[in-house]
Amino acid sequence: MSPQDPDEPVLETLPDRVADRLDAPTRAVLADPGWKRLHPVTPVLRAWKVVAAVLVVVVGQNTDEILRLDLPGWALTLAVLGGVLALALVGAGFSALAWRRTRYRIDTSEGVGAVHVERGVLWRQQRRAQLDRLQAVDVVRPLLGRLFGLAELQLEVAGGSGSKVSLAYLKEEEAQRVRNALLAAAAGLVVAEGQDAPEAPQREVVEVPPTRLITSTLKSGLTIWMVLVLVGIGVGCFFARSLTPLFGSAAAVLGLVSAVWQRFSTGFGFTVADSPDGLRLSHGLLEQRSQTVPPGRVQALRLTQPLLWRRSGWWRVEVNVAGYSSESGARSEQSTTLLPVGTVDELDLVLGIVLPDLATDDRSALDVVRAGLTGSGTDGGFTPVPRRARWLDWISWRRRGYLVTDHAFLSRGGRLVRGLDVVPHARTQSLGLTQGPLQRRLGLASVRLHSTPGKVSPRVDHLAADVAARLLREQTVRARAARAGSGPERWMTR
């Protein structure tokens, strides 16, 4: 393949059999020369990933053979450095070719805006992400990218796995301009041709102090497990008079240490702000991330409180967002955390932005939330599970229950780790009723609300069977009515 000029229409370079299958909007965009490239330094930032991946595979699988080489130390060092340099050159060359074949364009000419991305060295790929399905926009600044003033723009689009669109890397100023343009187009704002979309103002609501983050991390279950494992390993080494238990448990220890560090690193400098664009989150120690979740994109929400946080009155808030449903591990920790540790008053401020309609006719939103956080039985108007549920849940059955407001469904539970799940009626995708053999014998059943896949799985266990059946019927009607009246996805046109 010969390099293509940036201003050459992409459509003319595609095979006829591929071009004939494209829809009209995509053909019109590909025929337009107004495409943009990523920053020229991108191949350098991508090359080290290729080198690191190959080194891990090669060295990890051939460690014994490398150590058995009968070479002087200086010769072995030169051989390793030469291999790394060769890998770096190959990685940089391939990354440069991939960069040459990657371009993007924002199209707002069809009423429903879209982002078009073309990439591929051996196989060409065309991506078209409609902005009316935009769930979140993240500006990510990795440590190495910050040295060059670059950032990665990540678009989370509803559509299952593989729906994310990534533009890496752009100048930070360009990434912000593109972000503003995407959010403006998704919101339904019309910007004059040739002008940049203005950045919406924001109002900071919550800032997590570093001291609170450190203390809460030390009091988390991950840290407790890490300490217990280390103590167990130390005892094992003492009685065995050997370091074998330490080496045998190295993977588990590193995993726990990594999880604790990840929680602290992603929560460092955490701020929550309100904006016409939606909820804005900024956080990160080594990798800084600025997230923007447009209005109405939060599908479900969970508030949890570990036992050791109870005295301080701290809570953690996690959410389900459609675009983040396919992420796991560290990325899921970064993307789905709405507030790593906050007080009840801070919860009230955040929930007022995400779910502003939790109040009932006789209770304020804060009273409803407090009853869900710490109440039991019928406190706060919740419907509790019957007393016979104690045979299946003898620790936390008094805490279990649900509450239905005009706009949301709330489910509480947990005694050692308190929890409250909140699902807007309009975001309830389906419902299910389950009944195990012991539940049938006791006349109990469980109701589950199906939301976008994520960390939040709302359910109410061990309800009376007739109550569960009635809840299933009524909640189905509420969800259907809420979806019908939810309005357009382009929130500025509501």
pLDDT for the residue numbered 231: 86
pLDDT band at 1 (very low <50, low <70, confident <90, very high): very low
Predicted confidence band of residue 459 (pLDDT cuts 50, 70, 90): very high
Question: For the segment 110-149, what is each residue's pLDDT rounded down to a tens digit?
Answer: 556 788 888 877 777 888 888 878 888 899 999 888 888 9
444: pLDDT strictly greater than 50:
yes
Is it the case that residue 312 has pLDDT exceeding 70? yes
Q: By percentage, how much of the chain surpasses pLDDT 70?
A: 80
Which range (196-205, 416-425, 441-450) has the least confidence? 196-205
CA distances from 375 to 25, 236, 378, 380, 416 (A): 54, 43, 8, 7, 14
Mean pLDDT (whole number) for 233-258: 80
Please tell me the distance from the alpha carbon of residue 216 to that of residue 340, in angstroms, as a whole number.
9
Task: Look at residue 29 in the predicted model and tell me its pLDDT.
Answer: 46
What pLDDT, on the 0 to 100 scale, is given for residue 102? Answer: 87
Residue 302 is predicted with a pLDDT of: 94
pLDDT(246) > 60: yes
Alpha carbon distances (Å) from 159 to 136, 185, 487: 13, 19, 20
Q: Which residue reads 């991305």 in tokens?
A: 117
pLDDT at 162: 60
- For residue 169, whether the previous peptide bond is cis, meaning omega lies within 30 degrees of 0, is yes
Question: In the prediction, which pLDDT does 32 show?
Answer: 57
Find the mean pLDDT for residues 406-426. Answer: 92
Stretch 369-384: mean pLDDT: 90
pLDDT at 54: 67
Selected residue with higher pLDDT from 124 and 162: 124
For range 152-156, the mean pLDDT = 89
Residue 163's pLDDT is: 67
Residue that is written with structure tokens 């008053």 in the block = 345
pLDDT of residue 5: 46
SS3 236: helix
Total-model pTM: 0.80
Q: Which two tokens stand for residue 96?
A: 């440069």
- Tens digits of residue pLDDT in 184-222: 888 777 776 667 778 888 899 999 999 999 999 999 888
Distance CA 90, CA 95 (A): 8
pLDDT tens digits, residue range 42-68? Answer: 887 777 766 666 666 666 566 556 656
Q: Reply yes or no on whether the pLDDT at 224 is more than 80.
A: yes
- What's the mean pLDDT when you consider all of the chain? 81
**For residue 493, pLDDT beyond 60:** no
| 390 has a pLDDT exceeding 80 | yes
Q: If you average pLDDT over residues 448-467, what whole number do you get? A: 90
pLDDT for position 78: 78
Sign of the Cα pseudo-torsion (348, 338, 485, 480, in order): negative
Q: Rounded CA gap, 84 and 75, in Å?
A: 14
- Rounded to whole angstroms, the Cα distance separating 245 from 222 reads 21
Q: How confident is the model at residue 363 (pLDDT cuts 50, 70, 90)?
A: confident
pLDDT digits (tens, 9 = 90+) for 62-114: 655 665 666 666 766 777 777 777 777 777 777 788 888 888 888 866 556 78
The pLDDT score that the predictor gives to residue 393 is 92
Cβ pair 135, 160 in contact under 8 A? no
Q: Where are the alpha helices (DSSP H) in 32-72?
A: 42-61, 63-67
